[in-house]
Chain A
Amino acid sequence: MTHPIEPLSGSQSLCRQLVDAIPAAAYTADLEGRIVLFNQAAADLWGRRPGPGDRCCDSWLMHRPDGTVMPSDECPMAVTLREGRAVAGAEVIVKRPDGSHRHAHAHTSPLRDERGELIGAVNMLVDITDRKGAERALADSETRFREVANSAPVMIWMSGIDTLRYWFNTRWLDFVGRSSEQERGEGWTQGVHPEDLERYLDMYRRAFAARTAFTMEYRLRRRDGEYRWIMAHGTPMHNAEGGFTGFIGTCADITERKHTEQELAEYRVQLERRVEERTRELTESHERLRMSERLAMMGTLAAGLGHDMGNLLVPVRVRLDSLAAQSLSSQAREDIETIRTSAEYLRRLATGLRMLALDPQRAGAGETTDITDWWTDASGVLKSVLPRGVALASKLPEGPCRVGLSKAALTQVVFNLIQNAGDAMRQRTSGAVTVEARAEDGGTALIVADDGPGMTPEVQRRCMEPYFSTKARAISTGLGLSLVYGLVKEAGGTVALESQFGHGTTFTIRLPDLRPAGAFGPAAAARAACVRVGDARVRSLIIGELRAMGYEPDDAASAPAIVVTDDAAGVPNVGVPVVLLADAHAHPHPHPQPHPHAAADTNVRAIGPRPGLAKIREALRSAAQGAQPI
């Protein structure tokens, strides 16, 4: 409904109908700018209803689009009334009495009478407030997006539907050290690692074609030239209508993570390897324990058997002697000798068993063994492990041949070698194993040779490893040759193996020279030893030691090579090596009493009180070495 401010004439009525018909705010004004007609939409836009005489351009404030006050002569209606021309689409801001604003486009046209004289103007105001709000919201949203995108801790790009990228955030540009112009389009591909580019582009294009998100890792060159691992995610973008508008992508530098993953993978491999090693060690340890328990059990059994046999042979032999002392027939004497021979064989077997059972590392420290004597006792046990039909032969030196292994160790070394030979010849009906000992330059060679099937190169290479075994039999421990190797090595020797597949095996053990007999003792010309010790038992023991060292006791010797005494006052002051024993019975001193010259005479070695035999032996040897130059 048009609201006439003054009574209307005929033309005005026409004009009123026209204004009413306009689907926007519209009003007319006379030449003075006074509002003549306005429709409801105009009243709504202004937020008031103009009264009589209200002028459209100066009765209320209008503003320019930038918010500044628009002078009344600048408003579109004033221009049209003043200049008689239409103003189309001028943007104005209308301030309502309640303080709110409306944006509008003003479209003014001059009104003329029949003569063409300007009589007023009509203004149609199109309310654009809502559109302006939407535009502002969009602009704000865009600004906010850029701000967020530029401050995001990831690199972001956007592309159009043609796959060409048109925008990168500042983090991307900072990362690659290039300008937005350089990166736009396909410029960004220059930073992708050559090895990754084809794969990347292939996935990029396929994702575009399918309009589906994609994820991939690739290397991108950083501004310092270093290629960094990037995790890229691309997501298709759509407008409000659901139309595809391109892709937006985010990229994060995952180089550190990749390194960490790589390190973790390496740690995992290492851990798995360690677990495997530890499992193997535990298995071996368990196996060792099982074997050592079995060996200990067999050792206990052998020791007990050897000991009991030795015990029982004492009465057997005594009673044989007793029988032999009686008047008997020759047949009975022959029987007695046969039993005696068997008993002697059993005695050696018992000795051999005990030697086999002893822990060589505990029982044999420092011991030496004469091979000929040892063979007499040990050969019975050694032969027992060979199959029937395989002979055990020996080639031993005529004279004494002493090696630096205890009887127990020597027995176990040779036993293991012979046992292995026997096992290798288990299927044979004949054969021979020979044990040979001979002096060599710098030591003694102990050779155990068989004419069995020999070893393959692989077995030769591995046979000294602990638990390596070619045997299927339950008794095998796989420890035999490694035990041999360990014992010989401990004695300072070496083990050499010669074997030809099909032609037998020879083990050669080389043991270093012992110090020759009397090495601790004096030269032949000065062998007299003066022993002045009151305790007959200790004196006797010392004499035994000195004899073993090459001395001859001679208390009357005028120039003894060594003096052993328990009398501090009787120490001769002649520069002779002296071992002074503190006699706990005669002189119960808590500490040995050095003789008057002891401090100045380094030839005096004072020990005691109640020195153990090991201590006395050590002092005698030390003194004897001091006596060597005499």
Chain B
Amino acid sequence: MSDITKAGVLCVDDNLHVADAVRLRLAREESLEWKGWVTNAGNLVDVVQREHPAVVLLDLDLPGRDPFSALAELAERCPEARVVVFSGLVQSELIDRAFDSGAWGYVSKNDGDNELVSAIRSVRDGNVALSSEVAALYYGR
């Protein structure tokens, strides 16, 4: 049984190495808890309703269901699970689309694991989070 003070994190990424690295990194954080990993967004709402993660890390380059549509559905049906887009794709239009679909954060895979952890914490605390590469692009316009 998980510690209720810990924020659960669910990872949606088709790359095993990335997911495993996130699992490994979160293991070093006392306030965060690894809730598991799914390779696509097909049944994301079901998984979230079962696992109750506080934060969902969502890759944008996924096989199967369009991640934006899954994000919008999740924001509508499970607003307590806050989604952080975790992607190597950093483009203005994608960032706008992610936030308009209900994302709480957007982290570039290039910005390193520390920024990811920082963003998860920030989102858990109720603040929107952008990693440095994303913020530079997003607010630099």
Q: Does A510 sit within 8 A of B, measured CB to CB?
A: no
**Closest chain A residue to B89, Cβ basis:** A307
Is the beta-carbon distance between A363 and B104 smaller than 8 angstroms?
Answer: no
**Closest chain B residue to A364, Cβ basis:** B92
Is the beta-carbon distance between B17 and A315 smaller than 8 angstroms?
Answer: yes
Q: B110 contacts which chain A residues (CB < 8 A)?
A: 310, 313, 347, 350-351
Looking at the assembled complex, report how far the CB atom of A295 sits from the nearest CB atom of chain B, in whole angstroms.
19
Q: Does A358 sit within 8 A of B, measured CB to CB?
A: yes
Q: A152 contacts which chain B residues (CB < 8 A)?
A: none
Q: B92 contacts which chain A residues (CB < 8 A)?
A: 363, 365-367
Q: Does A277 sit within 8 A of B, measured CB to CB?
A: no
Our pick among B15, B25, B130, B137 for the contact of A407 (Cβ within 8 Å) is B137
Whole-angstrom CA separation of A547 from B135 in the bound complex: 12
Known: A310-B88, A315-B17, A363-B91. A541 touches B128 (CB 8 A): yes
Is the beta-carbon distance between B128 and A540 smaller than 8 angstroms?
Answer: yes
Q: Does A314 sit within 8 A of B, measured CB to CB?
A: yes
Q: Mark B17-59, 1 if CB is under 8 A from A, else 0.
A: 1101110110010000000000000000000000000000000
Our pick among B112, B130, B141 for the contact of A368 (Cβ within 8 Å) is B141
Looking at the assembled complex, report how far the CB atom of B110 sits from the nearest CB atom of chain A, in whole angstroms.
5
Tell me the residues in window 305-320 of chain A with beta carbons closer than 8 Å to chain B beta carbons: 306-307, 310-319
Q: Does A527 sit within 8 A of B, measured CB to CB?
A: no
Q: Does A614 sit within 8 A of B, measured CB to CB?
A: yes
Stretch at the interface among B2-10, B63-71, B93-101: B93-101
Our pick among B109, B126, B137 for the contact of A314 (Cβ within 8 Å) is B109
Is the beta-carbon distance between B139 and A545 smaller than 8 angstroms?
Answer: yes
Is the beta-carbon distance between A612 and B25 smaller than 8 angstroms?
Answer: no
Is the beta-carbon distance between B25 and A363 smaller than 8 angstroms?
Answer: no
Tell me the residues in window 99-141 of chain B with beta carbons closer than 8 Å to chain A beta carbons: 99-100, 102, 104, 109-110, 112-113, 126-128, 130, 133, 135-137, 139-141
Known: A307-B88, A310-B88, A314-B109. A367 touches B21 (CB 8 A): no
Looking at the assembled complex, report how far the CB atom of B81 sits from the nearest CB atom of chain A, in whole angstroms.
12
Is the beta-carbon distance between A540 and B126 smaller than 8 angstroms?
Answer: yes
Is the beta-carbon distance between B96 and A613 smaller than 8 angstroms?
Answer: yes
Q: B15 contacts which chain A residues (CB < 8 A)?
A: 311-312
Known: A350-B110, A369-B140, A541-B128. A311 touches B24 (CB 8 A): no
Is the beta-carbon distance between A612 and B96 smaller than 8 angstroms?
Answer: yes
Q: Does A165 sit within 8 A of B, measured CB to CB?
A: no
Our pick among A315, A351, A369, A547 for the contact of B20 (Cβ within 8 Å) is A315
**Closest chain B residue to A408, Cβ basis:** B91
Q: Does B73 sit within 8 A of A, measured CB to CB?
A: no
Is the beta-carbon distance between B21 and A319 smaller than 8 angstroms?
Answer: yes
Q: A536 contacts which chain B residues (CB < 8 A)?
A: 126-127
Q: A366 contacts which chain B residues (CB < 8 A)?
A: 92, 141
Whole-angstrom CA separation of A547 from B128 in the bound complex: 13
Whole-angstrom CA separation of A532 from B119 in the bound complex: 24
**Closest chain A residue to B127, Cβ basis:** A540
Known: A322-B24, A347-B110, A358-B91. A367 touches B139 (CB 8 A): no
Whole-angstrom CA separation of A361 from B39 in the bound complex: 32
Is the beta-carbon distance between B137 and A367 smaller than 8 angstroms?
Answer: yes
Is the beta-carbon distance between A537 and B18 smaller than 8 angstroms?
Answer: no
Is the beta-carbon distance between A311 and B88 smaller than 8 angstroms?
Answer: yes
Is the beta-carbon distance between B18 and A314 smaller than 8 angstroms?
Answer: yes
Q: Mark A336-373, 1 if CB is under 8 A from B, else 0.
A: 00000000000100110010001000010111111001
Is the beta-carbon distance between A614 and B96 smaller than 8 angstroms?
Answer: yes
**Closest chain A residue to B102, Cβ basis:** A537
Q: B113 contacts which chain A residues (CB < 8 A)?
A: 314, 317-318, 321
Is the beta-carbon distance between B109 and A613 smaller than 8 angstroms?
Answer: no
Is the beta-carbon distance between B141 and A367 smaller than 8 angstroms?
Answer: yes
Is the beta-carbon distance between B100 and A612 smaller than 8 angstroms?
Answer: yes
Looking at the assembled complex, report how far the CB atom of B67 sits from the nearest CB atom of chain A, in whole angstroms.
15
Looking at the assembled complex, report how far the CB atom of B58 sits from the nearest CB atom of chain A, in whole angstroms.
14
Q: B100 contacts which chain A residues (CB < 8 A)?
A: 612-613
Q: A119 contacts which chain B residues (CB < 8 A)?
A: none
Is the beta-carbon distance between B21 and A318 smaller than 8 angstroms?
Answer: yes
Q: B141 contacts which chain A residues (CB < 8 A)?
A: 366-368
Q: A540 contacts which chain B residues (CB < 8 A)?
A: 104, 126-128
Q: Does A630 sit within 8 A of B, measured CB to CB?
A: no
Q: Does A107 sit within 8 A of B, measured CB to CB?
A: no
Whole-angstrom CA separation of A133 from B117 in the bound complex: 131
Whole-angstrom CA separation of A375 from B92 in the bound complex: 20
A-B contact pairs, 13 of them (CB 8 A): A307-B88, A311-B17, A312-B15, A313-B110, A314-B22, A318-B113, A319-B24, A321-B113, A325-B28, A351-B110, A540-B128, A545-B139, A613-B100
B residues in contact (CB < 8 Å) with A: 15, 17-18, 20-22, 24-25, 28, 61, 82, 88-89, 91-93, 96, 99-100, 102, 104, 109-110, 112-113, 126-128, 130, 133, 135-137, 139-141
